[in-house]
Amino acid sequence: MKVRFKSYTNTFCILNKNDSNMSVRVILRLLKSKYILIEDTERSSKLYRELICRLKFLFSIQILLISIVKFTRIDRIFMNFKKYYVIIIITCFCFKAQAQDPIFSQYFMVPETLNPAFSGFEQATYFGVMHRTQWPYLDLQVDTNYAFFNTWLENAKDGIGVGFSFLNQRENSTSYNHFQFNGNFAYIVGLNNDWYFRPAIEVGYGMKSFNFRNLVLSDQININAGTVNATSADPFASNANNNIGFIDFTAGFVFDKKNRANGTDLWLGAAIKHLNQPNISFFDNGNVPLDIFYTIHANYKFPYYDYNDMILSANYMQQGAYNRLDLAATAKLSKLFIGAMAVTNPAKNSGNSHLLTSVNALVGLEFERLRFGFSYDFNTSNIGRTDGIYELSITYLADCLVCRSPTNNERRK
């Protein structure tokens, strides 16, 4: 039986049957006297082989298992473990591809999260914030905050979109944190028949941090005494960096057409993130390249019944061996948005994978110059009761700051 325990930013794993030539049952988590036993026979990937092949961990885990099986002073061990977030599997830090990049359910309301070519897309100045909470009633709650600013600079027939954003993601149980600042630049080229081409680049600087002092390593566990020492002499802890930094590059483009005669709006775009595949290893000599993130997206808006609009959108994403396809429909009733999205997993990487992983509901409202959004993701897989994922967004909409043509001195609706 294969078991993997995933969070949004990490895929936690530990030992492998093929690596250790034995079936290893390990303590996945000891937190507030709650523990989960799993058996992991997943095949090792190159991203974590440099860390999991440690005999000390095998030895300590086997001893700990024997103690559990024989019920030898295990109560005293649990009592001491209350003081720690004992997450042995964090030591391998196996960052799977599909978990590298946070994906917002409301990306079509703030598309800059997917593609830098959307900088200045509304031909206006706008800024705002987004908040995402995943699995609020699990120990693995993940909070993601995003702040952005975009503006449009008109230049005769063409234009320039400029923006920047801040991303901060934190796993509450592990104190793992990812912060990134990005700067976007998009050049808008007017084509024939109301078509526009928007090539763009994005340059970012990211920082990841993890407090390795939260780990309990093999030499800290004293089975006979039923105690856990506060410090470790293992070079794993001393050689690991609590903070790392990296430079990140993204490129993208969008073709779009707005037909003012019939009120339709169409755009097609694609982006490639992590072009330079930055090294995100916490070790000086480690090499864990961040997988390239590909995304292709399309959107079509058409009017119906007076001032109402229907918006159909699709977005395909792939990172490493994992992919995702989102299909959404949103009705805009004057100033009110109501929509639904189906999140699918076409690859179905394991036998237990589901094609439909979640159904996301959205409601939004434009009031004066403010746009509010709320979405909730209903999980459809058998991950259990996680109380879903919710997002909140607030955007302030302004007019064009630098527009030479009076007809353009209004934001794109």
Cβ atoms of residues 172 and 142 within 8 Å: yes
Mean per-residue pLDDT, 267-285: 93
Token digits for 39? 């058996």
Pairing state of beta strands 34-39 and 126-134?
Answer: unpaired
Reply yes or no on whether the pLDDT at 136 is more than 90. Answer: no
The top-scoring range by mean pLDDT among 90-99, 255-264, 399-408 is 255-264
Token digits for 296? 């292709």
The percentage of residues in the chain with a pLDDT greater than 70, rounded to a whole number, is 67
Cα separation of 213 and 228, whole Å?
Answer: 13
337 pLDDT tier (thresholds 50, 70, 90): very high
Phi, psi of 194 (to 5 degrees): 65, 20
Cα separation of 226 and 78, whole Å?
Answer: 9
Range list of β-strands (E), 116-194: 126-134, 142-155, 158-171, 176-190
Phi, psi of 183 (to 5 degrees): -120, 130
Mean per-residue pLDDT, 205-230: 81
SS3 state at 62: helix
Reply yes or no on whether the pLDDT at 147 is more than 90. Answer: yes
Cα separation of 393 and 107, whole Å?
Answer: 10
17 pLDDT tier (thresholds 50, 70, 90): very low
Write out the CATH class of domain 102-222+233-408: mainly beta
Higher pLDDT: 88 or 412? It is 412
Cα separation of 252 and 261, whole Å?
Answer: 29
The pLDDT value given to residue 316: 97
Cα separation of 148 and 129, whole Å?
Answer: 6
SS3 state at 58: helix
Residue 348: count of CB within 10 angstroms of its CB: 12
H helices of 70-113, where? 74-81
The pLDDT value given to residue 108: 85
- Burial class of residue 280, CB neighbours in 10 A (0-12, 13-18, 19+): buried
Residue 258 C-alpha from the chain's centroid: 31
- Residue 289: HSE in the Cβ half-sphere, 13 Å Cα cutoff: 11
Reply yes or no on whether the pLDDT at 96 is more than 70. Answer: no
Phi, psi of 391 (to 5 degrees): -135, 145
Amino acid at 332: K
Reply yes or no on whether the pLDDT at 255 is more than 50. Answer: yes
Question: pTM above the 0.85 mark?
Answer: no
What angle in degrees, to the nearest 10, is found between the helix axes of 74-81 and 55-69? 120
Cα separation of 272 and 251, whole Å?
Answer: 6
The pLDDT value given to residue 350: 64
Higher pLDDT: 323 or 353? It is 323
Cβ atoms of residues 220 and 213 within 8 Å: no
Question: Residue 226 contacts by C-beta under 8 Å, 6 or more apart in sequence?
Answer: 73, 75, 76, 77, 79, 80
Which residues in 233-269 are b (16+ Cβ under 10 Å) and which e? ebebbeebeeebebebebbbbbbbebeeeeeebebeb
Reply yes or no on whether the pLDDT at 309 is more than 60. Answer: yes
Q: Which residue has the tokens 């995933």?
A: 6
The top-scoring range by mean pLDDT among 15-29, 62-76, 238-252 is 238-252
359 pLDDT tier (thresholds 50, 70, 90): very high
Cα separation of 278 and 204, whole Å?
Answer: 11
Reply yes or no on whether the pLDDT at 117 is more than 90. Answer: yes
Mean pLDDT, all residues of the chain: 75
Mean per-residue pLDDT, 93-110: 67
Domain limits, the chain = 5-92, 102-222+233-408
Cβ atoms of residues 126 and 152 within 8 Å: no
In residues, how long is the chain?
413
Reply yes or no on whether the pLDDT at 143 is more than 70. Answer: yes
Question: Residue 101 contacts by C-beta under 8 Å, 6 or more apart in sequence?
Answer: 273, 293, 319
Token digits for 345? 């997993």
